[in-house]
Amino acid sequence: GCVALYTTLGLGRALAHQESHDSLTGLPNRTLLQRRLERGLASIGSSGKTLTLMMLDLDGFKEVNDTFGHSTGDQVLVQVARRVVSSVRDVDTVVRLGGDEFAVLMAEGATDHASMLARRILAALELPIVLKNTTVGIAASIGIATGGAGDSAGELLRHADLVMYSAKGAGGNG
């Protein structure tokens, strides 16, 4: 458990891990994403390269919690996290932002692969999630934004969020 983690990693490293990772899924969290975005945008400089950020929000997740309870909702989030991680490349970073929102920070130079990656994630989420006592169908809305020299991490997050909500407003699952 936690005591073994503290002993193995040392208290400082364990606390740093808790601060930068989601406790439910083990994925990096918003804090770590913000740092990686800032570092990535700063390293781009005037090279003309871009960073690509994908925001993902589950469609109808409130109904899952309302119908099956928060414990089942948590199990669904863990399964979604696994499916998203297995859909992306090892060089991409999958983040749980909170609630039913996730993000994927794509490796540098991957802008032209973003829509293909989004389709792969949507396909992985189309398969029903089979849990011990129930089967849950899930879908997601995805927004993709790119940022380059002069952009801030906050701007990139806002742009990806706006595009994601536009997809959600267009009926979701896209």
pLDDT for 10? 57
Residues 3-21, mean pLDDT to the nearest whole number: 60
List, for residues 55-106, the tens digit of each pLDDT value. Answer: 999 998 999 999 999 999 999 999 999 999 999 989 899 999 999 999 999 9
List, for residues 100-142, the tens digit of each pLDDT value. Answer: 999 999 976 666 789 899 999 999 999 999 988 888 999 999 9
Which residue has 């990686």 as its token pair? Answer: 36
CB 124 within 8 A of CB 86: yes
Residue spans of beta strands (DSSP E) within the chain? 51-59, 93-98, 101-106, 129-130, 135-136, 139-147
This prediction has a pTM of: 0.86
List, for residues 14-31, the tens digit of each pLDDT value. Answer: 555 567 889 999 999 999
Read off the pLDDT band of 145 (50, 70, 90).
very high
